[in-house]
């Protein structure tokens, strides 16, 4: 004999507990896998990239503030030359040099006339 009571149409029937809960719709695929641990290689690449960027910015700034030359205080910066076809700028440069020349001549004269001390020469 079966254990279940005979069913009749008049008896209200409670739905089974499983019917009150919305059934999980899986879409037919397998259940989602557990989240993977974060990828370390990606982070390392990002950090290296940032470091390269910072280094490039630093080098750029250094280059910019050193006027486009490698920093060496002993090297003489080339004097800007005037436009080769402009006699006016050449004349200005010449006048400046002649002025320096006159200063040098005055200094030479001062040294020539410098009679020093008791043992003057």
Partner 1 sequence: MKLKTLSRSALAALLFAAIPFASAIAVTSTPAAQAQRLTNLQTRGTAEIDRRLASLNAALSKLNASTKLSKSDKDAVIAQVSDEAGALTALRTKLAADTDLATARADVAGIVTGYRVYALLLPKARLIATADRFALVEDQLTQLHAKLQAKVDSAKAGSQSVDLIALQPSLDDMAAKIASAKTATDGLVAKLLALQPSDYNADHTVLTTHRQSLAAARADIKAARDDAKRVIDALKAGK
Nearer to partner 1, 46 or 100 (CB): 100
Backbone dihedral angles phi then psi of residue 113, each to the nearest 5 degrees: -95, 5
Half-sphere exposure for 35 (CA within 13 Å, toward CB): 3
Total of residues contacting partner 1 (CB under 8 A): 30
How many Å apart are CA 93 and CA 82, to the nearest integer? 8
Q: If binding is defined by CB under 8 A, does position 109 make contact with partner 1?
A: yes
Question: Which residue lies nearer to partner 1 by CB, 33 or 112?
Answer: 112
| Interaction of residue 80 with partner 1, rule CB under 8 A | no
Secondary structure in 3-state letters for 65-119: HCCCCCCCCCCCCCCCCCCCCCHHHHHHHHHHHHHHHHHHHHHHHHHHCCCCCCC
Residues 2-31 that bind partner 1 (CB under 8 A): none
CB of 80 to partner 1, least distance (A): 14
Site residues (CB under 8 A) for partner 1?
76, 84-85, 87-88, 90-91, 93-95, 97-98, 100-102, 104-105, 107-109, 111-112, 114-121
């Amino acid at each position: 004999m079966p254990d279940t009571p005979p069913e009749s149409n008049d008896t209200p029937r409670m739905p089974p507990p499983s019917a009150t809960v919305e059934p999980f719709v899986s879409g037919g695929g397998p259940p989602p896998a557990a989240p993977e641990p974060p990828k370390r290689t990606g982070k390392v690449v990002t950090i290296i990239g940032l470091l390269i960027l910072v280094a490039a910015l630093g080098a750029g700034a250094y280059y910019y503030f050193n006027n486009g030359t490698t920093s060496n205080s002993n090297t003489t910066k080339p004097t800007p030359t005037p436009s080769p076809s402009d006699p006016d700028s050449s004349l200005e440069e010449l006048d400046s040099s002649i002025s320096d020349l006159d200063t040098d001549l005055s200094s030479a004269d001062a040294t020539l006339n410098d009679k020093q001390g008791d043992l003057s020469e």
